[in-house]
Structure 1
Amino acid sequence: MPTSTASARYEGFGKEGKGSISTRSGALNDQPYGFGTRFEGIPGTNPEELIAAAHAACFTMATSFALARAGHGDGTLDTTCKVTLEQKDGGFAVTRSALSLTATIPGISEKDFAAIADEAKATCSVSKLLNCEVTLERTLKA
């Protein structure tokens, strides 16, 4: 299996420090992050946003493959993920990752859709990685 690589650099320390994040693929190239982007709404990214993006992408792909295995060949999956960061035990912790899936899948029952989405949540590698509550809200459109 492939190994994914990313790097982070931080110049200065604490609130005054400024960082950048890059990925080997180039999807992120010196993307700014720091205290301001994490806690004050300043443009840039933060670790929790990146975790949310990774979880949404992984879960959506896992759902897509589960649907294909069940014989479904067409449709659309839209997932939003909200990651909650809270102060805990003298530091910070990701305490929740909330997935919200809206799907349009011709010919699937609500029961089958729910079972496939629940299976995908349980088998998604990012869901397995996270040491927090992972919730799933499902909406099937006609």
Structure 2
Amino acid sequence: MIATGFSTWKGSWKQGSGTISTETDTFKDKPYSFSSRFEGTPGGSPEELLATAQAGCFNQALANNFGMIGFESESINTSVVVELGYGDDGHPAIKSSFVTVEAKAPGVTQEQFEYCAERARTTCTIARILKIDIGMKATLLP
């Protein structure tokens, strides 16, 4: 499986603008700019795509971990917050990633859930490429 993303850009770093897209119709020509990435103005950002990718990757990893111990999830709902800022060198840097997950998995104990969630947090394919500490709040629903 190969996933392909695209981007266009015109102009300077702070005054220019561009688009970000996926090869599939998932995400097409979403406008982005310096201000949409660093100042919170409307528009997309590569970090938003990263957060979405990590949430989806985490969910599948958690479902797989439940399956490896003989259970199946009824539901898994995850959000990921990626914080973009500046590193000590003054260059843009992803400062943190934080996973919040609520899962319903009949028969899974709290201990099993914590093990599976922690394993998903550290071993999903997106998490393995990030060089930052990934925080997490995991809630097993009754």
Same fold at TM > 0.5 = yes
Distance in 2 (CA, whole Å) between partners of 1:112 and 1:76 is 16
Unaligned runs of 5+ in 1: none
CA shift at 1:84, angstroms?
1.3
User: Which residue number corresponds to residue 140 of structure 1?
Assistant: 140
Equivalent position amino acid for 1:129 in 2 = I
User: Which residue number corresponds to residue 38 of structure 2?
Assistant: 39
Tell me if 1:130 matches 2:130.
yes
Distance in 2 (CA, whole Å) between partners of 1:36 and 1:95 is 18
CA shift at 1:12, angstroms?
1.4
Tell me if 1:83 matches 2:74.
no
Distance in 2 (CA, whole Å) between partners of 1:135 and 1:74 is 22
Tell me if 1:121 matches 2:121.
yes
Equivalent position amino acid for 1:106 in 2 = P
CA shift at 1:71, angstroms?
1.6
CA shift at 1:90, angstroms?
2.1
User: Which residue number corresponds to residue 96 of structure 1?
Assistant: 96
Question: Deviations along 1:20-79, whole A, 9 cap, x unmatched?
Answer: 011111211111111121123322211111111111111111001111222212411011
Distance in 2 (CA, whole Å) between partners of 1:58 and 1:65 is 11
CA shift at 1:95, angstroms?
1.8
The list of structure 1 runs, each at least 4 consecutive aligned residues, that deviate by more than 3 angstroms after superposition, is none
Tell me if 1:107 matches 2:107.
yes
Distance in 2 (CA, whole Å) between partners of 1:3 and 1:102 is 30
CA shift at 1:109, angstroms?
0.5
Unaligned runs of 5+ in 2: none
Identical-pair percentage: 33
Distance in 1 (CA, whole Å) between partners of 2:98 and 2:27 is 24
CA shift at 1:121, angstroms?
1.4
What pairs with 1:56-67 in structure 2 (closer than 5 Å)?
56-67=55-66
> Are 2:19 and 2:31, in contact at CA under 8 Å, matched by a contact in 1?
yes
Q: 1:138 to 1:74 in 2, by over 3 A?
A: closer
